[in-house]
Amino acid sequence: MTDYEEQAAAFIARAERYQGTGLPWSPGDPPPQVLSDDAADAGPEMTVRCVLLAGDQAELTADDGDSDDIARWPAAAIAAETGLPLEDLPGKRFRVRVAQEDGRVLFSGFSFLD
């Protein structure tokens, strides 16, 4: 297993651990949504934070205080889904569905929290 595959597996495991518990939610977060069957197939939901932009990629961490697990996702895709300008993404928190395919973390359904 490559380092990236291990990182993807750890990120997915964290999302699955929090599935159904509402964690890692903070006061003021919107209540968890019930996913449709199609959305549930996309993977569990979790809260992520955009740490910084690296070129055209946003570096994301699980919003539970462990910043060692970093995943990258196209910043333009997050901006398009949330309506936020690219330069405003760092420091923001998002609720997102997380899945894994071929050792890669896949994100979908970004919604802006704060």
| pLDDT tens sequence across 36-68 | 444 445 678 999 999 999 999 999 998 876 667
The CATH number assigned to the domain holding 101 equals: 2.40.50
**Overall domain count for the chain:** 1
Residue 33 lies in a domain: no
Residue 31 lies in a domain: no
Residue 63 lies in a domain: yes
Q: What is the pLDDT of residue 105?
A: 81
Residue 32 lies in a domain: no
Domain with 83, as residue range(s), is: 3-25+39-112
pLDDT above 70 as % of the chain: 61
Q: What is the mean pLDDT of residues 79-88?
A: 94
Q: What is the pLDDT of residue 21?
A: 43
Residue 34 lies in a domain: no
What is the full DSSP assignment across the chain? --HHHHHHHHHHHHHHHHTTTT-S--TTPPPPPPPPHHHHHT--EEEEEEEEEETTEEEEEETTS-TT-EEEEEHHHHHHHH---GGG-TT-EEEEEEEEETTEEEEEEEEE--
Q: What is the pLDDT of residue 79?
A: 94
